[in-house]
A and B are shown apart, each in its own frame.
Chain A
Amino acid sequence: MAFSPDIIVGLISFLFTIVVFSYLIGDNPLFRIAIYIFTGVSAGYIAAVAWWQVLLPRLVIPLVTAPMQEKLLLVAPMVGAVLILMKLAPRLAGLARPVMAFLVGVGAAVTIAGALGGTLIPQLLGTINAFDVNAAAARGVNLFEVMVNGGVILAGTILTLIYFHFGASARPDGSVRRFGFIEILAWLGRIFIGITLGAMFAGVYAAALTALIERISSLVNFIGKLI
């Protein structure tokens, strides 16, 4: 039987799958070796991608081929990239601080704008629009259903937000507790959070089950090919 690359890849994939599944029995050296090999290969691949698809096309090639005006604009990122590489040396790690500060500032600004315009306002509007009777009618949804669903969604949203309100004051008996009404609402909010987390847990299990099915399916197919 000729060992085609597919066979070799399949064999290696089969071996690694079996070794990782052996963790169900217990931790063992083979499993650790497989994990360390995986980590090494992933890290090496990431470094290759970072060079080929980030630094080379954005920094190296423009520095070589771009006009002088564009080259001047690349001096700062070139210096910044070199400074970031200084983080490999503990003594010189401080030189990268300005670059890290730049990254943090840019990232903070982007996330602020995204959170504000991409989540906060649209979600508030969505909660309000859940009671839009006209839109619901256009969709052919029952008014009662709209109101009930809208109410539940609104209640769930508010109660969940109240649950995460942890402002409390000291009581005469010395204990620190939230306001009584807030405590009740927070307890109700816990119900919605529990339901949401339960739904997410079910989704995680489903995804893991699908991955397991895919792996076992590939094993079965490989064995079938061999046979």
Chain B
Amino acid sequence: MADIIKCPVCGEGNAADQEFCQYCQSRLQPLTGPLKGADAPLHPGQIPTKKVTAELEPILPQWLRDARNKARQSAEVDTSQAMQQQERIIPPNASEPDLLAGLRSQSRGDDDEDTPDWLANITGVSPKQKKIDSGSSEARRVELGDRSDFAGNTGALKESIPAWQGNTQEASSDTEKDELKDWFRESSGLEGKKDDVPASDSAGWSDQPVSEPGSFSNDQFVPAVSSSDSDSPDWLKRMTPEEDPGNVPSWLSSDMQQEAKGESPSSFADPASGTFEAAPSSADDVPNWLQGIDPKATSAEGVSSDDWLKEHQPKPVEPNLNRHTTPLWLKGNDNSAANPAEAETPIWLSADVPSPPAPPPSRDPFALDDVVPAFGDIPNWLKAAAPQSSIFADSPAEEAPAAPAEASGWLSTFKSNEPPPTPFSVDKAQENLPPTFTSDAFKDGGENALFTEMPDWLSSASPSAPVSSTPALSDSITPGELPSWVQAMRPVDTTSSARPASFSSDQTFESRGALSGLQGVLPAVPGYGPSSKPKIYSIKLQASQEQQSHAALLEQILAAEAEPVPITSFSPLRTSRTLRWLISFAVLVLIIGVTSLQTRIFSMPVAVPNEFNGALQVAQNVPESAPVLVAVDYHPARVGEMEAAAAPMFDQMMVLRHPRLTFISTNETGAILAEHFLAGPLAERGYQYGNQYLNLGYLPGGVMGIRAFTQNPVITMPFDITLNSAWASAPLQGVTSLSQFAALIVITDNVDTARAWIEQTMSTRQATPFPLVVVSSAQAAPMIQPYYDSGQVTGIVNGLYGGAIFEQNNAGRPGTARSYWDAYSLGLLLAMSLMLGGGLWSLALGLRDRAAAKAGR
């Protein structure tokens, strides 16, 4: 299994060493190797390496390479053919409009060898079915015209049809050929004439080099030059004389006749110049391929000054569309004169009332003898591209008389002698014109059919049509491989299995409006709803498993490009759970043990800090029953430390001086913590709310609130926590401003809060000095020390250490610090030892790692 590679395109197994799939010729081995060296991706700022285009040839898909080869070869053929036909073909009038200029330009581009994907894919032919074209490459053409133009003698035309049209021919079924056969038989009346027409001439209208000469039989429209690659389109080549000799369109047969006479067929372009030739016309918009129309073949009206158009005066109209769609330039002058009905005015040219249908052509539209130097008719594909004014007239009957006047000069020559039938005339079109999308829609060869019916080379590209083998065609439109939109326009073939499913069985002719004459279209009647539910098309991408896997692989490759390269850095120190557990165990065991045992081993601190004395002084010297403002600004997390630090001082003050305490807090939980403080270690003092102490509650705003309270405490805090008027109560009796407080005690665990109280009350305390004592947590004490040193703070009680010292000055009351002290001291000693020992150990390890890193570098 390892030796077999599955082709990503067709799914067939191939040998592992094969570069291309043996079935579909798609590439199996990736061209791009690992992304390094020459294949390394480009980085920003890097100049890409110049590559020769030819070096990239191998990585192109097979179909593209084939198209390129074909184009090269066709270019060579074109060049040789151009040289040959240089003398015979009249150069086109540059001033004349050339409706096929687009096709010409396409054929002119020898470098344009690549068949557009859209064109290659419209046929619906799988890549497997594409064959390598050894012949010249043909550019794809989208022909708008009557399908019957190219129907019929497909066998005869096969040789002369270019390779790019070969595929379209392949798709044509026998049934389609039968339709074309009928159309050609009826409309052109070219049967029996088998003048040889140079292949290049026959293909001139499509301006494609014909790869297969001799696409027409001798009796029919058969390109004479068989040795060289003719310019006749494939559709022409397909028209075999044995199938329907009489189905050579007149426009084509007339050209062939013209060629036989030594004149350049007016319907075909000059291969050398790559342009279509047309009879000289004074009108500027006469395409070149129309320029060759014999001026003698003029309509009875003859309103146009353009010769070629005059030649194509509508002949007596026969009641069939085939008749109308036979191009005049195919029918030739003779036919146009003999069969005026055959001289057709293109539908898009004429807006006249529908003329009586012309008699069916007596010969195949593509018969050689019908090819006259002058163009007898406009090709169907051209009729389909007719100006809208003639096609979409609402009342063709009304517009028909006006059309001749409106039509331009060169276009008027297309008008038949009889009032040409408009494509959408109600009365006669319905009678005479066959259903637009029926198999024999173009039998009558009417003008309407020219613009409404599919050319053979397009109609044969139906996806449902079986693909017939056509040699030497790779990515051009094969016969029958029509784009989907073209297929949708195809007339419904009742006898053909290739009828598109989208066409309903409604064969009602449209009698009014722009679509008059057409069949099976949506009527322009308001309120009409679709007869059937429209087909639902999935918008999901239909990708096979192989395609998805390839896409995933591509994504991985691209993602690998975008992945950043990890930068080597020092490895982070991993968390040591064991160490953490050991520390936790040691600390918890120690503290639980000491606390449970309630030991009193360690002595209380003796060294009194300088800042402690100020606090002691305040506590001992506050006036009797003086109002003291207490700011409770610590969090519940530090209740134990703060209460242990502040309780001795308050206890001493309350015992000695009985102050009236007023609690306030810039912390949301401060008010309730004040209650907790008084109800805890100070419960023995028995202070009553509203008598000895008051709780003003929460002061919002931080520094803004402190400043506001400092400015005017009465307005800032009018109520206490019970929503009673605070400043009329006993604890605040006689107090209306901050300066009237005997002392300000700030209990805080936060440096910022202490700083805010110190800063905002500075001006008031400078005006009226009163002491400020800060009972702080051990963590805030170092940053509050400068304020004490600068004289802004009277005293500081520093955490449990300060509380312990104060307790010693308070006769050991309340005793919280004492109960905590042993555990506190042991905890500190444990921390010291762990930090010292562990720090030295970590220092040694760190130095070792550094040395190792240095050695490694």
A contacts B directly (C-beta below 8 A): yes
Binding site for B on A (CB under 8 A): 21, 24-26, 45-46, 49-50, 52-54, 56-57, 61, 106-107, 110-111, 113-115, 117-119, 122-123, 125-126, 129-130, 153, 196, 199-200, 202-207, 209-217, 220
Nearest B residue to A197, CB-CB: B782
Can you name 26 A-B pairs with beta carbons within 8 Å? A21-B588, A24-B580, A24-B588, A25-B581, A53-B671, A53-B698, A57-B718, A106-B704, A107-B704, A111-B703, A114-B760, A114-B762, A117-B762, A117-B763, A118-B755, A122-B792, A126-B786, A205-B831, A207-B749, A210-B778, A210-B820, A213-B820, A213-B827, A214-B639, A214-B641, A217-B595
CA distance A200 to B577 in the complex (A): 26
Inter-subunit contact B641/A210 (CB<8 Å): yes
CB distance from B132 to the nearest CB of A (A): 65
Inter-subunit contact B581/A209 (CB<8 Å): no
Inter-subunit contact A115/B831 (CB<8 Å): no
Contacts of B592 in A (CB 8 A): 216, 220
Across the A-B interface, the 9 shortest Cβ-Cβ residue pairs? A118-B759, A214-B640, A126-B790, A114-B759, A203-B778, A203-B779, A210-B641, A206-B778, A204-B779
Contacts of B703 in A (CB 8 A): 107, 110-111, 114
Contacts of A118 in B (CB 8 A): 755, 758-760, 762, 792
Contacts of B580 in A (CB 8 A): 24
Inter-subunit contact B639/A213 (CB<8 Å): no
CB distance from A61 to the nearest CB of B (A): 8
Binding site for A on B (CB under 8 A): 577, 580-581, 584, 587-588, 591-592, 595-596, 637-641, 644, 668-669, 671, 697-698, 700, 702-704, 707, 718-719, 721, 723, 749, 755-756, 758-760, 762-763, 777-783, 786-787, 789-792, 799-801, 819-820, 823-824, 827-828, 831
Inter-subunit contact B827/A209 (CB<8 Å): yes
Contacts of A215 in B (CB 8 A): 640
CA distance A129 to B789 in the complex (A): 9
CB distance from B86 to the nearest CB of A (A): 74
Inter-subunit contact A122/B790 (CB<8 Å): yes
Inter-subunit contact B820/A207 (CB<8 Å): no
CA distance A220 to B592 in the complex (A): 8
CA distance A52 to B719 in the complex (A): 11
CB distance from B556 to the nearest CB of A (A): 36
Inter-subunit contact B762/A122 (CB<8 Å): yes
Q: Which of B702, B718, B758, B779 contacts A207 (CB 8 A)?
A: B779
Contacts of A21 in B (CB 8 A): 588
CB distance from B763 to the nearest CB of A (A): 6
Contacts of B587 in A (CB 8 A): 212
Inter-subunit contact A214/B668 (CB<8 Å): no
Nearest A residue to B789, CB-CB: A126
Q: Which of B591, B644, B786, B801 contacts A212 (CB 8 A)?
A: B591
Contacts of A153 in B (CB 8 A): 789
CA distance A117 to B792 in the complex (A): 11
- With A210-B644, A210-B799 as contacts: A110 and B638 at CB distance below 8 Å: no
Q: Which of A56, A110, A206 contacts B779 (CB 8 A)?
A: A206
Inter-subunit contact B595/A213 (CB<8 Å): yes
CA distance A88 to B823 in the complex (A): 48
Nearest A residue to B762, CB-CB: A118
- With A209-B827, A210-B799 as contacts: A220 and B596 at CB distance below 8 Å: yes
Inter-subunit contact A24/B584 (CB<8 Å): yes
Inter-subunit contact B824/A213 (CB<8 Å): yes
Most chain B CB within 10 A, of A26, A56, A129, A209, is at: A209
Most chain B CB within 10 A, of A114, A117, A122, is at: A114
Contacts of A25 in B (CB 8 A): 581
Contacts of B639 in A (CB 8 A): 214
CA distance A118 to B820 in the complex (A): 36
Inter-subunit contact B831/A209 (CB<8 Å): yes
Contacts of A106 in B (CB 8 A): 704
CB distance from A51 to the nearest CB of B (A): 11
Nearest A residue to B640, CB-CB: A214
Contacts of B723 in A (CB 8 A): 52, 56-57, 61
Q: Which of B707, B786, B820 contacts A123 (CB 8 A)?
A: B786
CA distance A207 to B641 in the complex (A): 7
Nearest A residue to B791, CB-CB: A126
- With A117-B762, A203-B780 as contacts: A209 and B700 at CB distance below 8 Å: no
Nearest A residue to B697, CB-CB: A53
Contacts of B779 in A (CB 8 A): 200, 203-204, 206-207
Contacts of B799 in A (CB 8 A): 203, 206-207, 210
CA distance A126 to B671 in the complex (A): 34
Contacts of B755 in A (CB 8 A): 118-119
Q: Which of B584, B698, B792 contacts A54 (CB 8 A)?
A: B698
Nearest B residue to A208, CB-CB: B779
CA distance A56 to B828 in the complex (A): 47
Contacts of B719 in A (CB 8 A): 57, 61
Q: Which of B596, B718, B760, B783 contacts A200 (CB 8 A)?
A: B783
Contacts of B704 in A (CB 8 A): 106-107, 110
CA distance A54 to B716 in the complex (A): 10
Contacts of A213 in B (CB 8 A): 591, 595, 640, 820, 823-824, 827
CA distance A130 to B789 in the complex (A): 8
CB distance from A50 to the nearest CB of B (A): 7
CA distance A211 to B698 in the complex (A): 24
CA distance A210 to B825 in the complex (A): 10
Q: Which of B577, B584, B800 contacts A210 (CB 8 A)?
A: B800
Nearest A residue to B831, CB-CB: A205
CB distance from B835 to the nearest CB of A (A): 9
CB distance from B706 to the nearest CB of A (A): 9
CA distance A194 to B792 in the complex (A): 25
Inter-subunit contact B759/A217 (CB<8 Å): no
Inter-subunit contact A203/B698 (CB<8 Å): no
Inter-subunit contact A49/B668 (CB<8 Å): yes
Contacts of A196 in B (CB 8 A): 782
Inter-subunit contact A216/B758 (CB<8 Å): no
Inter-chain pairs besides A118-B760, A214-B641, 15 sampled, C-beta below 8 Å: A50-B668, A61-B723, A110-B703, A114-B760, A125-B790, A126-B791, A153-B789, A206-B800, A206-B824, A207-B641, A207-B778, A207-B779, A210-B644, A217-B640, A220-B595
Contacts of B780 in A (CB 8 A): 203
CB distance from A140 to the nearest CB of B (A): 11
CA distance A220 to B594 in the complex (A): 11
CA distance A211 to B591 in the complex (A): 11
CA distance A215 to B779 in the complex (A): 19
CB distance from B199 to the nearest CB of A (A): 76
Contacts of B763 in A (CB 8 A): 117
Contacts of B819 in A (CB 8 A): 217
CA distance A217 to B707 in the complex (A): 39
CA distance A46 to B671 in the complex (A): 12
CA distance A153 to B785 in the complex (A): 12
Contacts of A54 in B (CB 8 A): 698, 700
CA distance A209 to B778 in the complex (A): 11
CA distance A111 to B755 in the complex (A): 11
Inter-subunit contact A207/B669 (CB<8 Å): no
CB distance from A212 to the nearest CB of B (A): 6
CB distance from B633 to the nearest CB of A (A): 14
Contacts of A211 in B (CB 8 A): 637-638, 640-641
CB distance from B387 to the nearest CB of A (A): 56
Nearest B residue to A209, CB-CB: B827
CB distance from B182 to the nearest CB of A (A): 72
Nearest B residue to A200, CB-CB: B782
CB distance from B381 to the nearest CB of A (A): 60
CB distance from A149 to the nearest CB of B (A): 10
CA distance A45 to B667 in the complex (A): 12
- With A106-B704, A110-B707 as contacts: A216 and B760 at CB distance below 8 Å: no
CB distance from B769 to the nearest CB of A (A): 14
CB distance from B662 to the nearest CB of A (A): 15
Contacts of A212 in B (CB 8 A): 587, 591, 827
Nearest B residue to A119, CB-CB: B759
Nearest B residue to A210, CB-CB: B641
- With A53-B698, A203-B781 as contacts: A129 and B790 at CB distance below 8 Å: yes
